[in-house]
Amino acid sequence: MKQPGGIANKLSELGYRLTPQRIMVLSAIEDSDNHISVEEIYAQIVAKYPQVNISTVYRTLELLKRLGLVTETDLGGGRVRYHSAEKGHHHHLVCQECGAIIDLDESVLSSLKDTLLREYKFIAGLRHLAIFGRCVNCSR
């Protein structure tokens, strides 16, 4: 079992139990440089502890998401992907034709968020958005 990082500390500070299962999910996300899928997280865990159930992984991700510690993004392909909220991140443009994924800076959605807050008094989530469409190569 790896050492729990920053997310683990926050979890126990908030009164949640630090189970081995949770620590393993956390480690998988923190150790991953890019967006990681449930399948990938579970594969890492099950290699060491085969008795762990995948529903526990789903439940842990649900918790981390709700607490704002990880973000969830649908990048296509029928499975969502996760990312540590601590690390800086991008939104993404996903080409539905060729599958290309273009990174988009956090700031691109700022003015939209501002408008929604100003004109609709609505605090938009939009923490890690993927926008589907067509890239320049595929739009001829």
Partner DNA sequence: TTTGTATTTGCAACTAGTTTCAATAAAAAC
Partner DNA sequence: GTTTTTATTGAAACTAGTTGCAAATACAAA
| CA end-to-end distance (rounded Å), the chain | 51
User: DSSP readout, 32-91?
Assistant: -SS-EEHHHHHHHHHHH-TT--HHHHHHHHHHHHHTTSEEEEE-STT-EEEEESSS--EE
Q: Would you count residue 127 as binding Mn ion (CB under 5 A)?
A: no
Q: Which region among 1-9, 41-49, 94-102, 111-119 touches Zn ion (by CB under 5 A)? A: 94-102
User: Which residue, 23 or 95, has its beta carbon nearer to Zn ion?
Assistant: 95
Q: Which region among 57-65, 83-91, 111-119, 127-135 touches Zn ion (by CB under 5 A)? A: 127-135
**Shortest CA distance to 24 belongs to which of 7, 4, 40?**
4
Q: Would you count residue 95 as binding Zn ion (CB under 5 A)?
A: yes
User: Which residue, 3 or 55, has its beta carbon nearer to DNA?
Assistant: 55
Which residues make up the interface to DNA (CB under 7 A)?
12, 16-22, 37-39, 51-56, 58-60, 62, 78-80
